[in-house]
Amino acid sequence: RILILDFGSQYTQLIARRVREIGVYSEIMPFDVGDQAIADFAASGIILSGGPESVAFDDSPRIPPVVFELGVPLLGICYGMQAMATHFGGTVSPSDEKEFGYAEVALHEPGELFRGIEDRIDADGRALLEVWMSHGDKVTELPLGFKTLCTTPSAPIAGMGDDERHYYGLQFHPEVTHTAQGKRILERFVHEICGCGATWTTEAIIDDQLERVREQVGSDTVLLGLSGGVDSSVVAALLHEAIGNQLLCIFVDTGLLRYQEGDQVMATFAEHLGVRVERVNAQKQFMDALAGVSDPEEKRKIIGREFIRVFEAAAKTHQEAAWLAQGTIYPDVIESAGAKTGKAKVIKSHHNVGGLPEEMNLKLVEPLRELFKDEVRRIGIELGLPRELVMRHPFPGPGLGVRILGEVRPEFVEPLQKADHIFISELRQANLYDQVSQAFAVFLPVKSVGVVGDARRYEYVIALRAVETVDFMTARWAYLDHAFLDHVSRRIINECGGVSRVVYDISGKPPATIEWE
Ligand code: XMP
């Protein structure tokens, strides 16, 4: 296994994902996690991430010395390389030219790390690589024992290595897909240099989790709040496989779900997979609690509170349950760890409605805690969940409660569900669904004038939103084809009732958020 020490780069999670994609388990720890934790992890190799700081200052993050005492191969990326160079007495200088984006590096002396890797050969017979650079500082003088592996015009030491000790540094980012041979470079480091076999496969993850869950919960009953979202669905499938009828899912129908979603959840889990699911029809309770409330944050609080009430009431009727299962995934764990140490650049502002109180006196089982979203999805498919469900766009915990702007009135729900369903099915039909990251309809409680035949109509507005994004922190609106939008708009106005106008949202994030509330 590979340990990734995080110096605060926006790409750290990507490094961990890439290493896992090539079949090796990896974990991220903050660089200052402490010697014991680093040693206990017993890594076969350590990757030092990039980071926003400059090694030039006395208080800039340093590589903990324990890293060099373990005798394992090291790969420093960007800041990680600079910190390694500094540690061994090399020189790091601020760069006048900042490089950001594509660069072409020429291999100088490939060493173990680049053996057999190249994009093309130039006229002078040098092997060249297309890479993704982002740096201000750079290494200008090699530390003792290191050789220059590759160069660019602006960074003569773009890669350095010591094949004796297996220490390597790269100024560019092998973890991003823009570095065409990035995967092969990581493979060479992880497989050949660190000697890790590709054993982290979907089947191995599942087998490992099944065993762990069985051991953890024994013959106890486990409760799970099933929402229909990807994470809780995969937890349900996994626990069902592990412990069968000891799993009891509670599915709260808030009335703020997508078109026919409640029935679909029951069909997939109860009927198709044979999972024990109790459906609680709490539509009226949610609607009553939301009456007269239009502030978005207030609505979120109410929905969260009602959810806990309903869930707790259902759980009370199952005193035999000793465990509560949750769909926490690895990025949530990393982010909350980062938030604790104050290192996280990204603080999650949204919490899932499923955040249940600790007083429930149930022990927690979180089988996805070590997994990235793409791993969760692969497990879901392997366990027989429908692809459509597993690859679904994210849906916010408060559901349509934040997609009906202002006060949530019962009569707004159905037209919105229908409009959203039309939009989504048309996207699927046109093979566009997987090309956008999230798409949905929003109900605007403003009336506008329309004319149908000879009659004047004074009805509501539906806004359509489709975005492309990698991390949902920033996003651009999707350039959907005009003829496609025209077709969707006509269908919505004809079929939804009470809608006389459809608009398409052309705002990016920032400044607009993805949701309208
Ligand atoms: P925004 O609107 O902040 O959304 O750009 C970013 C992502 O988060 C989702 N989102 C939520 N998810 N509870 C959730 O579980 C919420 O209250 C919530 N608000 C937004 C949104 O759908 C998008 O994927």
Instruction: Give the tokens for residue 211.
Output: 């065993």
- Pick out the residues of the known binding site for ATP: 227-233
Q: State the closest ligand 1 atom to the C-alpha of 393, by its place in the atom list counted from 1.
A: 24
Which of 395, 403, 472 has most ligand 1 atoms within 8 Å of its beta carbon, as the pocket-test mutant?
472
Instruction: Give the tokens for residue 334.
Output: 């990393």
- What's 138's DSSP letter? E
**pLDDT of 174 higher than 50:** yes
pLDDT in tens, 18-54: 999 999 999 999 999 999 999 999 999 999 999 988 8
Q: How far is the CA of 396 from the centre of ligand 1 (A)?
A: 5
Residue nearest to atom 18 of ligand 1 (CA): 396
The pLDDT of residue 496 is 95
**pLDDT of 99 higher than 80:** no
**pLDDT of 352 higher than 60:** no
Please give the Cα distance from 104 to 398 (Å, whole number).
47
Q: How far is the CA of 504 from the centre of ligand 1 (A)?
A: 19
pLDDT in tens, 266-305: 999 999 999 999 999 999 999 999 999 999 999 999 999 9
Please give the Cα distance from 226 to 27 (Å, whole number).
28
Locate the domains of the chain by residue range: 2-193, 202-390, 412-504
| Region 63-88 average pLDDT | 97
**pLDDT of 129 higher than 50:** yes
Residues with CB under 6 A from ligand 1: 300, 350, 352, 394, 396-398, 438, 472, 509, 513-515
| Region 115-124 average pLDDT | 88
ipTM of the complex: 0.99
Q: How far is the CA of 395 from the centre of ligand 1 (A)?
A: 7
Please give the Cα distance from 231 to 229 (Å, whole number).
6
Would you say the CATH fold of 202-390 matches that of 2-193? yes
Q: How far is the CA of 92 from the centre of ligand 1 (A)?
A: 41
Residue nearest to atom 17 of ligand 1 (CA): 350
Cβ neighbourhood burial of 73 (10 Å; 0-12, 13-18, 19+): buried
Q: How far is the CA of 404 from the centre of ligand 1 (A)?
A: 14
Its sign, for the CA torsion 363, 369, 373, 376, is negative
Burial call 98-137: b when 16+ CB within 10 Å, e when fewer: ebeeebebbbbebbbbbeebeeeeeeeeebebbbbbbbeb
Residue nearest to atom 9 of ligand 1 (CA): 396
Between 345 and 381, the higher pLDDT residue: 381
Q: Compute the mean pLDDT over every residue in the chain, rounded to the nearest whole number.
A: 93
Reported CATH class of domain 412-504: alpha beta
The pLDDT of residue 154 is 85
Reported CATH class of domain 2-193: alpha beta
Which of 350, 393, 424, 469 has most ligand 1 atoms within 8 Å of its beta carbon, as the pocket-test mutant?
350
Residue nearest to atom 20 of ligand 1 (CA): 396
**pLDDT of 338 higher than 70:** no
Annotated catalytic residues are 78, 173, 175
The pLDDT of residue 450 is 86
Which residue's entry shows tokens 């050949």?
192
Reported CATH class of domain 202-390: alpha beta
